Amino acid sequence: MLKRSIPLRFILIFSTFFLTVLLYIDRACISAAKEDIMSDLDFNMTQFGWIMAIFTLGYALFQTPSGKLADKRGPRKIITFIVVAWSVLTALTGAAWNYVSMLVIRFLFGAGEAGAFPSLTKVVFNWFPVKERGIVQGINFSGSRLGAAFALPLVAWMLTKVGWRMSFLIFGILGLMFAMAWYFLFRNKPEESRAISEKEKQYILANRQQPSSAEKANLSFGRIIRSGNMWMTMIQYICSNFTFYFTLTWMYPYLKERFALGGIEAGFYAMAPLIGGAFGNWFSGILVDAIYRGGNLKLSRRLPAIIGFVLAAFGMIMLSMVDSPEVSILFLTIAIFGADMTLSPSWAFCIDIGKENAGTVSGTMNMAGNLGAFVTIIAFPYLLKWTGRHEPFFYICSGLSVLAILMWLFMKPDKSLNN
């Protein structure tokens, strides 16, 4: 009865949305626990910066291999393995005893999480018609923003009840429960599912992207990086991540320390930009699909991304000029709304040009973007140390958004990497 009344792919969207919520709760909780961890393990500011950054380095380096695995083995097994790995390493974060142990655990944590979004891109390719691609990607990424948003005040509250070590253990157990459910309920393709109705299956098969036999061949990493189209895709994604990762790592301690806020109060302030990012994902996803249905593939990718980067540049410039927490949050929310508008067109673009190799291509883009995020996390404390000011970091974010706009003017979603 359920499969007749609710299309199975809609239930799948809810599942992947929850997956990204959990993904970013586990990723963002270390930022909220910063003071407790630094106090217990005697870390300084730059050491903690490296702890957050080393996660991103592991995450970046394993993007392309994990995306390739999702293309070859299917997202069912790969996502199950990824969720188990990151959940175990989330729990182990709470068992770290010194600086080196924390660095090792967080690097492995990043490597374990690496294939999540490339694998989800493969899910989108297999299960959803092209005209639904934008909103599905927007919903998935909005989950990551909402997960991070609610993690900040939630972890701040949990720290007062059970401490940071037990908090990480609890989040790890939740992840293992999801991994079990995913493995037993999900199937790689609608053709393999017994739960889907015949009507919905035929609808998906008739409207999803159909690769040619040549496009089913494995796409080498060398061929990917020889593409100018791919290089522009990676550069603009570096620019997007440079802005966003400030909110995921340094925003909470920045707000708390600059404006002398309490932990839970800072957590609630820090929710606003991340919730703004969720709305940016939804709005962009709807816009991508609406323009695509009008028959303009290039504009459906370019326009939402360019609008997003304009807002990101404006928000970060204005953030450098204000000195109250309320106005700072307003402009930071505008910036993150804009930065997150770029995600749906970026990941849809990777499916457009990668097709059957969507996991590999999106993983390569995400690898580049997270190398940019690695620089972000390190740059913020070092720029503050060298200049004594936060503003230079915000100027860089704004300048990179302008560079990304230039990239999008020349990117071609109709130019397959297999041609």
DSSP 62: T
What's the pLDDT score for residue 130? 83
**Token representation of residue 319:** 């953030």
pLDDT band at 217 (very low <50, low <70, confident <90, very high): low
Amino acid at 363: G
Instruction: Give the helix ranges, DSSP H, for 94-115.
Output: 99-113
Residues 6+ apart with CB under 8 A from 322: 328, 331
pLDDT, tens digit, for every residue of 221-261?
788 888 999 999 999 999 999 888 888 778 888 888 888 78
What's the pLDDT score for residue 363? 85
Cα gap 365→247, rounded to integer Å: 20
- Whether the per-residue pLDDT at 1 is higher than 50: the answer is no
User: Which sign does the torsion angle of CA 308, 310, 311, 312 carry?
Assistant: positive
In a domain, 419, yes or no: no
> Among the listed ranges 30-39, 277-286, 331-340, which one has the minimum average pLDDT value?
30-39
Domain that holds residue 233: 2-207+220-408
- How far does the chain reach from its first CA to its final CA, in angstroms? 44
What would the DSSP string read from start to end of 222-255? HHHHT-HHHHHHHHHHHHHHHHHHHHHHTHHHHH
In a domain, 131, yes or no: yes
Angle at the Cα of 328 from the Cα atoms of 282 and 373, rounded to 5 degrees: 60
What's the pLDDT score for residue 357? 83
In a domain, 414, yes or no: no
* Mean pLDDT for the stretch of residues 394-411: 96
Instruction: Decide: 286 and 133 in contact? Cβ < 8 Å.
Output: no
Cα gap 351→210, rounded to integer Å: 11
Instruction: Decide: 80 and 383 in contact? Cβ < 8 Å.
Output: no
> How would you classify residue 196: left for phi > 0, otherwise alpha for psi between -120 and 50, otherwise beta?
beta
In a domain, 46, yes or no: yes
Q: How many domains does the chain have?
A: 1
Cα gap 290→284, rounded to integer Å: 10
What's the pLDDT score for residue 102? 93
In a domain, 213, yes or no: no
Question: What is the domain-level CATH number for residue 63?
Answer: 1.20.1250.20
What's the pLDDT score for residue 340? 94
In a domain, 417, yes or no: no
Cα gap 297→292, rounded to integer Å: 5
**Token representation of residue 207:** 């409207």
pTM exceeds cut of 0.85: no
Burial of 294 (C-beta count, 10 Å sphere; 0-12/13-18/19+): exposed
In a domain, 389, yes or no: yes
Amino acid at 198: E
Cα gap 113→236, rounded to integer Å: 22
In a domain, 214, yes or no: no
Cα gap 345→354, rounded to integer Å: 14
**Token representation of residue 262:** 């309490």
User: Which sign does the torsion angle of CA 92, 93, 94, 97 carry?
Assistant: positive
- 3-state SS class at 37: helix
What's the pLDDT score for residue 210? 67
pLDDT, tens digit, for every residue of 177-204?
999 999 999 999 999 888 888 899 999 8
**Token representation of residue 404:** 């990304």
